Chain A
């Protein structure tokens, strides 16, 4: 066991941190903070990271990386998420879309899709959830029909699609290619050009603003044969690998840690009945609890990465890590609410908002973190069935 980052990793963290302190705009709040300038700003930053070889450093050199180990990537993610993920939507490319293409794609697909990702100039969205297929993702009904000449024609509807309106140039789409087998055995992955005729995007207003999530309609969209990833009907297995990567790729604990630092500063400056709020016993133990939960989520994530580095299976650990990360964010939202009190209803735009409205924002952020990329009850099913050997529930 070794619980320390190496000197190389520490040096990289310092270098990156200095860079980000200069480059991340003062106003940048979060990847989910919908503003017109969010996407162009994140594009600029991703390109600058790519120039320095930092965007995809753990990729092999032939695909625009420098073969760094996963821990360098962990440092990068933590520094990003502790600053509200200024890479914007492109974090997803690096976390799992690129790696899946690298692993399952043809040589031609790798060359075509990985280069733009490593250069920080492409936005992808993921087409998984549907109106009638959320947690039960394998029940999805978007249909991909193979034509006589090997192309596919895709018809269906996706929903809760983040960044589709950014706009995304490509969609990483899961669709049904076979209706004669069990639901999860008839799914395939497609790399779909969002500019193709028949693709329509409708933004949905979310608690955090307009444009974070969307509906995407596919009406007889033609997809060439070379845009199917991996074998037909193999989509589910590839996706499971991808989601395990995604679940350790978003260190929510780093975001919660940053919020905790803000709360500590706030309680030390805020006087209640003539005493600093930081002396209030209940406030102290609540903030301490948040610290403990952040630390736990961090270590479980590191354990998943340790196993990943050794080539061991990580589905179980990544489910635990994702669950703990989400629950930590939930706790952060609640502790912030309790600590700031009545004024925590004030939005960042209001001049009276304490902590620049962070308490309000963090409460809203706490809602999707236990839902996205597999709701925590789905993670619990994965742990119970794959980890503990309990029977399936149906």
Chain B
């Protein structure tokens, strides 16, 4: 047992932190989110050149052969800088969708480019109600055989759709049943609209309007599709959680900075216990969350059952985000309500991830199931 970084993990964390400070200061974060696509191609090329999309991909597939723990080290540091990128979906749905899917030829064909980050993969999984992942499809919408299926779907909150090379899509097809597909972004019939999300990664509504589905696009079908989606979603949850932990660390750092410098009633705010104790609680909860998230990743790396650890970790993340967001904004007061201050860049991103992949209640029920309740 050792809940500290080893030397390699510490070096990795230091190098990502250095990169963020050098290449991706907060001014750039503000700038990128106003780009038409919300995507910074120049920086993405630097990120993938450092191998950060391939940390946890096995070496025989062109990856670095590290663990998810190391991948989380990267994500946490990126979160500290509020550095958005298509990294998490490219890894969780792209690399691991191909790795754990049941399509050898797709894996051989696409994985090297996906692991290298040259092909960006995003997740078009959330149905337009923002809750379901698997659609209810009626027969008259999809008349086809297994070899010539047509995809009709509307997906929401799809990150980086305009920059993606592939969409991972969850759907239900006649003759196939539930399916996880890897659809090239240039396939005819795909339309998208950037949704209005002022802060954070760009999100799109994506319509798949009678899009051709080829056999080679099917990563998994039937029960295997549900399993594959669960695997990818769980990974995405953990990667996102690590990123969110980084966001929370920075929200707290900004709050502490304010509590130390802002003087009211003749002393710094932090000298009031009502303020100091909120900071202490944030610190404690963020660190607890962080350990839970790393534990889930470590269990997956070891091939152990991580279902309970993952569900518990996500539940804890959600509670921590709610706490950090409420406390930090309370302490910053009106300044935190102003977009001139950086706090909202961290808290609004964190709030978005609080509900992604299902919020607190869903994950507590998942924990309850796994406890045998």
Contacts and interface: CB of A to CB of B under 8 A. Distances in A.
B273 interface: yes
Interface string B267-294: 1101111011101110110011101101
Contacts of B289: 296
A287 B280 contact: no
Q: Is the interface of A mostly helix, strand, loop or mixed?
A: helix
B295 A299 contact: yes
Contact of B279 (A264, A324, A388): A388
Given A380-B276, A380-B280, A383-B283, A267 B295 contact: no
B368 interface: yes
A283 B259 CA distance: 39
A377 interface: yes
Contact of A1 (B9, B275, B284, B367): B9
A109 interface: no
Contact of B373 (A278, A323, A389): A278
B256 interface: yes
A2 B2 contact: yes
A309 B2 contact: yes
B302 interface: yes
A292 B364 contact: yes
Interface in B302-321: 302, 309, 312, 315-316, 319
A320 interface: yes
A31 to B, nearest CB: 26
Interface residues of A, number: 54
B260 A307 contact: no
A384 B276 contact: yes
B371 A291 contact: yes
Contact of B367 (A71, A288, A384, A387): A288
B interface majority secondary structure: helix
A389 B256 contact: yes
B292 A384 contact: no
Nearest to A317: B287
A113 interface: no
A392 interface: yes
B333 interface: no
B299 interface: yes
A281 B362 CA distance: 11
A389 B276 CA distance: 10
A390 B271 CA distance: 7
B36 to A, nearest CB: 40
B327 to A, nearest CB: 12
17 contacts: A1-B3, A1-B294, A2-B298, A9-B1, A278-B372, A281-B365, A285-B368, A291-B371, A299-B292, A302-B291, A305-B1, A317-B287, A379-B280, A384-B277, A389-B256, A393-B272, A394-B271
Interface of B: 1-6, 9, 69, 252, 256, 259-260, 267-268, 270-273, 275-277, 279-281, 283-284, 287-289, 291-292, 294-295, 298-299, 302, 309, 312, 315-316, 319, 361, 364-365, 367-368, 371-373
Kindly list the 3 A-B residue pairs having the minimum CB-CB distance in the complex, ordered from nearest.
Answer: A390-B270, A284-B368, A384-B276
Given A268-B372, A295-B316, 15 more contacts: A1-B2, A3-B298, A285-B365, A287-B371, A289-B315, A292-B312, A296-B289, A302-B1, A307-B4, A379-B280, A383-B280, A384-B276, A389-B260, A393-B271, A394-B271
